């Protein structure tokens, strides 16, 4: 029976955890990927590319969701077991509070390992690949400038239109309007052409077309018209993302945050912030434990009440929220004050210790009873 009950408790907490994780992940994932969707539409990328980019962003979403999901799932599951009198039956069967807490702590341990894996490898690796792919997409002029059957603006003052585009790179019905120079508007028209990639950048080779120039000079406007059999148009001038690429804090592995390359300009500029956020990565593994201990501390020792346990739940949620807010504040403070770093770890550890004492009955009342009885025994001996 004792072996069956821990498995039952584990399943009762795991089920809500999975459901809450899926719901919260979906909500946060949707808000995060709206930015990606806008970029995909502008750059003319496929649904497959959007799905790939979304999956690369998923570790950062899970890193936020998992501790919150665990806390919500434990509050729900423990409250449900108490309300249904299942907890009373377990205590009557001889299970102690810590015996009931063991399956919960097992689930918490699995979440801690997953959070560590996300923070130490999966999240920075995913965000790094995501940054590289976004960099490539923004620089993909052939995708952004050449869209079949629609007018596109690869840069201000330039409009490009093609009627048809084949997978081999052939295009038909080409129009390029260049109004960047207010004194000279240029229009390129061609029957067909080819999109090619060269070492110097992407090129549009147009065939059987003409170039029309409208020039304004001294208040007078003149037009020139020229036919061509073949003309090469340089598309690399519209490429974006040609600046220097560097990895921000969430795209760096832990070693690159605590011990960056001396030649890393970004790290040299934000060394203290990288150090503080590196500690934030490590302390993130303590928060699932803290949330689990708070949930156990507010509900396991609760006496039976027909009015429910709303007040206890509110207290537990308040403790968890305030502790997490303090943690965020300490991370920001540690950027300018390195002596704050030990407090980043101390806050969740103290709450875990206090929760453990409350679960074990070692709270203020226990100390009062203990020392009161000792004092009474001493006074009785003296009498």
Higher-pLDDT residue of 373 and 270 is: 270
pLDDT for position 113: 96
Query: What does each C-alpha distance from 358 to 22, 67, 295 come to in angstroms?
Result: 32, 21, 11
> Would you say the pTM of this structure is higher than 0.85?
no
The pLDDT assigned to 242 comes to 46
Q: In sequence order, what are the residues at sequence separation of 6 or more whose Cβ sits closer than 8 angstroms to the Cβ of residue 90?
A: 5, 100
In whole angstroms, give the CA distance from residue 230 to residue 214: 21
In terms of residues, how long is the chain? Answer: 383
| Structural tokens at position 373 | 């009885």
Task: Tell me how far the alpha carbon of residue 130 is from its chain's centroid.
Answer: 12
Measured between alpha carbons, how far is 124 from 35 in angstroms, rounded to an integer?
A: 19
Closest CA relative to residue 63, chosen from 257, 248, 283, 274:
283
Give the confidence band of 232 by pLDDT, cuts at 50, 70, 90: confident
Instruction: Answer yes or no: are the C-beta atoms of 332 and 271 closer than 8 Å.
Output: no
Q: Residue 42 above 60 pLDDT? A: no
194-228 burial, b at 16+ Cβ within 10 Å, e below that, comes to ebeeeeeebbbbbeebebeeeeeeeeeeeeeeeee
Contact 320, 99 (CB under 8 A): no
Q: How far apart, in Å, are the Cα atoms of 31 and each of 25, 45, 212?
A: 10, 19, 46
**What pLDDT was estimated at residue 346?**
95
pLDDT tens-digit map of 290-331: 999 999 999 888 776 667 778 889 999 999 999 999 999 999
Helix/strand/coil (H/E/C) assignment for every residue in 124-172: HHHHHHHHHHHHHHHCCHHHHHCCECCEEEEECCEEEEEEEECCCCEEE
Average pLDDT over the chain, rounded to an integer: 81
Residue-level pLDDT at 221: 76
Residue spans per domain, the chain: 4-138+248-374, 145-238
Q: Copy the structure tokens of residue 249.
A: 């804090």
pLDDT band for 237, please (50, 70, 90 cuts): low
Which pairs with CB-CB distance under 8 Å and at least 24 residues apart come from 359-363?
A: 359/97, 359/98, 359/101, 359/293, 359/296, 359/297, 359/300, 359/301, 360/97, 360/98, 361/301
Q: In degrees, to the nearest 5, what angle opens at C-alpha 98 toward C-alphas 94 and 102? A: 105
Give residue-wise pLDDT tens across range 341-363: 999 999 999 999 999 988 887 65
DSSP E strand stretches across the chain: 151-155, 158-165, 170-178, 184-198, 201-217, 220-234
Burial 36-63 (b: 16+ CB within 10 A, else e): beebbeebbbeeebbeebbebbbbbbbb
Report the Cα 274 to chain-centroid distance in Å.
17
Most confident of 3-17, 192-206, 275-289: 275-289
The residue ranking higher by pLDDT, 7 or 308, is 7
pLDDT confidence of residue 379: 44
């Amino acid at each position: 029976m004792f072996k069956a009950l821990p498995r039952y408790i584990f399943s009762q907490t795991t089920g809500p955890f999975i459901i809450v994780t899926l719901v919260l992940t979906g909500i946060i994932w949707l808000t995060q990927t709206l930015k990606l969707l806008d970029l995909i539409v502008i750059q003319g990328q496929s649904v497959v590319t959007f799905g790939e980019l979304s999956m690369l962003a998923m570790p950062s979403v899970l890193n936020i969701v998992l501790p919150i999901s665990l806390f919500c799932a434990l509050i729900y599951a423990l409250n449900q077991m108490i309300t249904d009198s299942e907890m009373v039956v377990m205590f009557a069967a001889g299970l102690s509070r810590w015996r009931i807490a063991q399956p919960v702590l097992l689930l918490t341990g699995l979440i801690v390992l997953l959070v560590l894996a996300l923070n130490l490898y999966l999240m920075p690796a995913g965000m790094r690949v995501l940054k590289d792919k976004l960099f490539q997409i923004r620089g993909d002029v052939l995708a952004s400038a050449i869209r079949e059957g629609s007018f596109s603006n690869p840069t201000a003052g330039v409009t490009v239109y093609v009627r048809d585009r084949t997978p081999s790179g052939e295009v038909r019905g080409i129009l390029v309007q260049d109004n960047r120079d207010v004194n000279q508007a240029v229009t390129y028209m061609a029957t067909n052409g080819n999109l090619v990639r060269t070492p110097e950048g992407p090129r549009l080779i147009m065939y059987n077309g003409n170039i029309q120039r409208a020039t304004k000079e001294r208040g007078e406007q003149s037009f020139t018209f020229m036919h061509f059999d073949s003309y090469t148009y340089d598309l690399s001038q519209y490429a974006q993302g040609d600046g220097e690429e560097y990895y921000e804090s969430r795209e760096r592995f832990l070693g690159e945050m605590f011990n960056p390359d001396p030649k890393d300009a970004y790290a040299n500029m934000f060394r203290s912030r990288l150090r503080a956020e590196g500690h934030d990565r490590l302390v993130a593994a303590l928060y699932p434990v803290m949330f689990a201990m708070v949930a156990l501390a507010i509900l396991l020792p609760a006496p039976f009440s027909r009015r429910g346990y709303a007040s206890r739940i509110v207290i537990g949620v308040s403790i968890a929220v305030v502790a997490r807010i303090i943690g965020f504040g300490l991370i920001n403070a540690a950027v300018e004050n390195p002596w704050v770093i030990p407090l980043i770890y101390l806050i969740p550890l103290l709450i875990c210790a206090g929760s453990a004492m409350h679960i074990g009955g070692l709270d203020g009342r226990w100390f009062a009873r203990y020392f009161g009885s000792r004092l009474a025994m001493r006074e009785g001996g003296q009498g």
